[in-house]
Structure 1
Amino acid sequence: MMSIIRPEKTDIHTIFEIFQECRFDLDAQGIKQWDDIYPNKEVIEEDIQNQSIFILKHDEEIAGVVSYDEMEIEEYKSVDWKHKDGRNIVIHRLSIRPKYQGQGIAKKLIQFVHGKSRQELYTSVRLDVYSDNQRAIDFYKKLGYELRGEVWFPRRSLPFYCMEKNLSEKIR
């Protein structure tokens, strides 16, 4: 059985473990998206405090995590977003425990974000994805996200692609 809920403070350690498992999994593929500085437990604590994080539980185990809110980072100002009018939501982190990858959990979490955002009358969903993570790029494109530009972050050798999805489109 699967459920998507807000995590408790007691879940911080487990969520951090998932981030670390994903980081090591990406590293093994040669993708240097995350490091030992980001994401960290403070980011998770802040997400819980701001109520901007959700977990997907599969048979009582946390299998995936997504955090999103309205906060756009400074780097996003240089991006030519398509949906400039209206309210936009930003996905900051999506992470699936490696043993659950390929089971549709990422799609369920993204569809959850789309559904909640539509209910709350947001116009679009924005995010950035590491340009060396082709699997993630393909995943978002399949869900209807369009490439809108790129941004650079410290300690990364490649840019992140900024992508956007119009929420008036049908959920894929």
Structure 2
Amino acid sequence: MIRLAEEKDIQTILEITKSCAKSMISNGVFQWNDEYPNLSAFQNDIKRNELYVLELDKVVKGCIVISTLMDSEYIPIEWLTKNENNIYIHRLAVHPELQGKGCAQQLMSFAEQFAIDNRYSSIRLDTFSQNKRNQKFYELRGYKRLGNIHFPKQSEFPFHCYELVL
């Protein structure tokens, strides 16, 4: 089941994202670290009603942020659609024990259906340039790679921006 996150879910979400960061780092992917994702980001997501969790047997096992806010880092990207009526995906995470079992697909399908149901023109996101697994994941779903942005607190390497026109 996918539902809106609540304050009581934050500790579990942080544990999941820390496990994801540890798993990525052990595979040479330095995408997440101690600074990101963090408590304040998830608290803001909940306040804006943009954080969703995947529950399996009443236990939170993953999360996704579906936002209408365009981060300033995205401004230079030549998007396929106008900068209006878009949603942005952030902080997609599934506990490493469940990765490869369709949970991320389920969360992305939920986000895509949400966008369709609410008549958004596209879905935008970024993923780390060194995370080939994520790039393949989004490209197989039909997302088009458009350009790069940088998050210096996270990595010296760029993040690729993607868009799916609905």
Provide the TM-score with structure 1 as the length reference.
0.93
Q: 1:20 to 1:84 in 2, by over 3 A?
A: same
What is the CA–CA distance in structure 2 between the aligned matches of 1:117 and 1:161, rounded to whole Å? 21
Percent identity over paired residues: 35
Aligned residues: 165
- Residue in 1 aligned with 2:75? 77
Whole-Å Cα distance in 1 between the matches of residues 7 and 57 of structure 2? 20
Report the alpha carbon displacement of residue 84 of structure 1 after superposing the two structures with TM.
Answer: 1.7
CA distance in 2, matches of 1:43, 1:119: 26
* 1:1-172 correspondence to structure 2 within 5 Å: 3-84=1-82, 86-155=84-153, 156-167=155-166
C-alpha offsets along residues 63-111 of structure 1, whole Å, 9 cap, x if unaligned? 1100021111111111010112651100011001000101101011001
Give distance in 2, aligned partners of 1:89 and 1:105: 20
How far did 1:53 drift?
0.6
Deviations 1:38-74 (A, max 9, x none): 1111111111111001001111111110002111111
Amino acid at match of 2:162: M
| Contact 1:68/1:93, CA 8 A, preserved across alignment | no
In 2: Cα distance, 1:161 partner to 1:103 partner: 25
RMSD: 1.0
What is the one-letter code of the residue matched to 1:35? N
Q: Hey, which bits of structure 1, 4+ residues long, moved more than 6 A? A: none
AA at the equivalent of 1:166 = V
1:152-171 Cα deviation digits (max 9, x unpaired): 1113121000000011xxxx
Structure 2: tracts of 5 or more residues without a match:
none
Corresponding residue number in structure 2 for 1:170: none
The CA distance in 1 between the partners of 2:80 and 2:5, in whole Å, is 33
Distance in 1 between residues matched to 2:14 and 2:80, nearest whole Å: 34
- 3-state SS of paired residue (1:78): coil
Q: Aligned in 2, Cα 1:133/1:119: closer, same or farther, shift over 3 Å?
A: same
Aligned partners of 2:159, 2:51: CA distance in 1, in Å? 21
